[in-house]
Amino acid sequence: MTEDIVVVAGATGGIGAALIAALRDDARYSHVVALSRRRPDRWTDDARRTWLPADLLDDATLAAAARRIAGLGTPTRVVVATGLLHAPGAAPEKALRALDAATLTRLFEVNATGPALIARHLLPLAPRDRASVFAALSARVGSLGDNALGGWYGYRASKAALNMLIRTAAIEHRRTHPLGVCVTLHPGTVATPLSQPFAGSGRELFTPPTAAGHILRVLDGLGPADSGGFYGWDGAPIPW
Ligand SMILES: NC(=O)c1ccc[n+]([C@@H]2O[C@H](COP(=O)([O-])OP(=O)(O)OC[C@H]3O[C@@H](n4cnc5c(N)ncnc54)[C@H](OP(=O)(O)O)[C@@H]3O)[C@@H](O)[C@H]2O)c1
């Protein structure tokens, strides 16, 4: 047993919960830390897992979580599985006339600023002498080059901003942590509350456990040369 720990942010989400379930018995980690605004349903802390409160819109909660994480071990895997596509009164915009400043701001706060602040607090805790991976879940629709359909202005733009923030962090991180990897990942279309209103569009739909398996396999296959990239659920690079 090592003191390496794995951190999953978005523990109450469809993909985040599946990641935590998949990591529960992974002997490479002495501890699984779950971050979310509220305690996940049926969650109890034990010798191998701890839940910590973390609100992406409240930097003090992220700083406090980082302090607790530093006391538990060395985070060699961090997956940020938080995100926002729709909320009551805030559907993805189909046209420019639907743009709303408050909704755009909220999408940027949750999808770009929040994960970047988690990187700010947790990347310095990565080990300098061995491999580590920090991954934030992005979305293929955040690719500028891949945008042929249009629509979903705020979600697309906030994920594009996330990709830039994490790529920029990867460049800085490599100077002090040459074995550290810092990436964004598209998990595919996954059956969760986030995708539920848009299901049935003909795209392949993964279950959360299947998506978690894909994500963990991609992370295991990444090395320092891959840092700063944007990858799909199958590990293939996605154009910016
Ligand atoms: N599902 C898909 O088809 C799909 C496709 C492409 C990309 N993705 C990306 O994959 C990631 C996970 O998505 P999912 O499908 O698992 O979505 P989900 O089931 O809706 O989960 C979203 C998670 O984000 C958390 N969150 C939202 N706002 C937060 C805040 N202010 N502070 C802390 N946590 C906050 C939610 O917490 P609460 O429970 O507190 O609300 C929840 O844990 C997202 O980045 C999403 O954009 C998903």
Is the beta carbon of 190 within 6 A of some atom in ligand 1? yes
* CA 198 – ligand 1 centroid, Å: 15
What is the CA(176)–ligand 1 centre distance, in A?
30
Q: How many CB atoms lie within 10 A of CB 144?
A: 11
Spatial separation of the C-alpha atoms in residues 11 and 2, rounded to whole Å: 23
pLDDT at 55 over 50: yes
Query: Quick one: which of 119, 129, 134, 127 has its CA closest to 66?
Result: 119
Tens of pLDDT, residue by residue over 216-225, are: 999 999 999 9
Q: For residue 44, give the CATH number of its domain.
A: 3.40.50.720
The answer to whether residue 236 sits within a structural domain is no
Task: Tell me whether residue 240 is in a domain.
Answer: no
What is the average per-residue pLDDT within 132-145?
98
For 145-204, the pLDDT digits (tens) are: 999 999 999 999 999 999 999 999 999 999 999 999 999 999 999 999 999 999 876 778
For a mutational test of ligand 1's pocket, the pick from 37, 43, 105, i.e. the residue with the most ligand atoms closer than 8 A to its C-beta, is: 37
DSSP class of residue 237 equals: B
DSSP 77-111: EEEE----S-BTTBPPPSSGGG--HHHHHHHHIII
Residue 28 pLDDT > 50, yes or no?
yes
**Does 238 fall in a domain?**
no
- Tell me whether residue 215 is in a domain: yes
Residue at 181 is within a domain: yes
Q: Would 110 be classed as within a structural domain?
A: yes
Q: Provide the residue range defining the domain that includes 164.
A: 4-231
Q: Is the pTM of this model over 0.75?
A: yes
**Ligand 1 contact, 139 CB (< 6 A):** yes
Ligand 1 atom 25, closest CA: 82
Q: What's the pLDDT score for residue 187? A: 98
- Residue 129 Cα to ligand 1 midpoint, Å, equals 32
Domains held by the chain: number: 1
